[in-house]
Amino acid sequence: MKHLLIAAGLTACLATGASAGVLDNVKQRGFLSCGSNTGLAGFGLPDDKGVWTGLDVEFCRAVAAAIFDDPTKVKFIPLTAKDRFTALQSGEVDVLARNGTWTQSREAELGLNFGGVNYYDGQGFMTRKKNNISSALELNGASVCVQQGTTTELNLSDFFRSNNMKYEGIAFATADEAIKAYDSGRCDAFTTDVSQLYAEKLKLVNPDDTIVLPEVISKEPLAPAVRQGDSQWFNIIRWTHYAMLNAEELGVTRANVDEKVKSPMPEVRRLLGVEGDFGKGMGLTKDWAYRIVKHVGNYGESFERTVGENSKLKIKRGLNNLWSKGGLQYAPPVR
């Protein structure tokens, strides 16, 4: 509640001190200020050389590519879960791409706008293969390791109650302790968000002996957030994601984007700025989407590189597949 009050106060301050648009500020400053995770494998994490990598990080690079034609013009500011929204409200960061869940209260009460969902997450389970379980509905009577004091615990209890199943919840203060307990055999299953499950699984002694069950028991749409009150900036954030999705749908990749410019297909020509001037309305150049694909790639490429098959996490596309392939990722057309 205290957070909300502070945030409400901050919003009021900001509303009175309305200034030039965020895009103008970013252009004038020469770089994008991107609120990132302090460290989350696959989403935002510095590598051995200290270069930020991950799905959320690549999203910020895509925004920078669209504005500056240079994906390196981003300053990543690592934010903890506690101060992330304040940092966005205070203007310390231009966009918050930090695996934040899009919820009604965050939009309505904190005065934020969430752009396109760049990862559909949700709570899932993992269990040992030798238990011969293929669905979370077979977990009746199981002991489940869970991190304390999070919505994860609540979702767990809701799931078992609504399915009339019994379970023994064993709560731990940190995810590290919970996964250790699971590894030592104290519980049959471990639950957290699916994206996390894959990262935590790697910490096991034998990661291959454990499977992630297909059920997803909660909705956690992760999306980049911006402050309310600047529709132009909001459009840029939203359409950066949509451009990456459209590129994937139309088969435009980082490798073939220069050939695709010559493509006769009208949709491709509009997306890449050969026909029409669709960037203008957002304050960008007409080749904005071309820049994104050229420097970062389409959504599928980015996904596979950071969290999918080409990464250590090996998360399946699942809900994050294109709508035409059975997933939820659906982008409005550029026209």
Partner 1 sequence: MAERTTPSFLRTEPSPVLPPPVFAGGAVKWVRENMLAGPGSALFTLVGLAFIVWATPGLVRHLILDAVWTSPDGVACRAPGAGACWSFIARKLEFFLYASYPRDMVWRVNLCLAMGAVLAVWLLWPGAARKGLGAALFFIVYPVAALVLLHGSEALGLPKAPTDLWGGIFLSMIVATVGIVFSLPGGVLLALGRRSRLPVVRFFATLFIEFVRGVPFITVLFMANTMLPLFVPASWSPDRLVRPLVGVSLFASAYMAEVVRAGLQAIPRGQTEGAMALGLSYWKMMRLIILPQALTVVIPGIVGIFIGLFKDTTLVAVVGIPDFLRTVETARLDPAWAGPTISTTGYLFAGAFYWVFCFGMSRYSLMMERRLAAGRKR
Q: Name the residue nearer to partner 1 (CB basis): 23 or 292.
A: 23
DSSP assigned state of 285 = -
Which secondary-structure segment (H or E) carries 77?
Answer: strand 74-79
For residues 221, 181, 312, 216, the Cα torsion angle rounded to the nearest 10 degrees is: -30
Write down the least CB distance from residue 333 to partner 1, Å.
36
Can you give the binding site for partner 1, defined by CB under 8 A? Answer: 10, 13-14, 25, 38-42, 45-52, 75-80, 83, 86-87, 89-92, 176, 180, 183, 199, 202-207, 311-313
Q: Name the residue nearer to partner 1 (CB basis): 38 or 134.
A: 38
- The helix/strand/coil state of 147 is strand
| Nearest in space to 126 (alpha carbons), one of 43, 41, 215, 203 | 215
Q: Name the residue nearer to partner 1 (CB basis): 97 or 252.
A: 97
Q: Name the residue nearer to partner 1 (CB basis): 10 or 97.
A: 10
Write down the least CB distance from residue 146 to partner 1, Å.
19
Instruction: Give the span between the Cα atoms of 247 and 34, in whole angstroms.
Output: 23
| Nearest in space to 293 (alpha carbons), one of 327, 242, 332, 335 | 242
Residue identified by tokens 């004091």 is 149
**Which residues does 289 contact at the CB level (< 8 Å), separation at least 6?**
66, 243, 246, 247, 271, 272, 273, 278, 279, 334
Write down the least CB distance from residue 313 to partner 1, Å.
6
Please name the amino acid found at residue 226: V
Instruction: Give the span between the Cα atoms of 37 and 96, in whole angstroms.
Output: 9
DSSP assigned state of 321 = S
Write down the least CB distance from residue 312 to partner 1, Å.
3
End-to-end CA distance of the chain: 43
Write down the least CB distance from residue 238 to partner 1, Å.
24
Q: Name the residue nearer to partner 1 (CB basis): 199 or 334.
A: 199
Write down the least CB distance from residue 42 to partner 1, Å.
7
Q: Name the residue nearer to partner 1 (CB basis): 105 or 206.
A: 206
What residues are paired with 210 via a beta bridge?
A: 128
Q: Name the residue nearer to partner 1 (CB basis): 85 or 288.
A: 85
Instruction: Give the span between the Cα atoms of 249 and 264, in whole angstroms.
Output: 16
Write down the least CB distance from residue 50 to partner 1, Å.
3
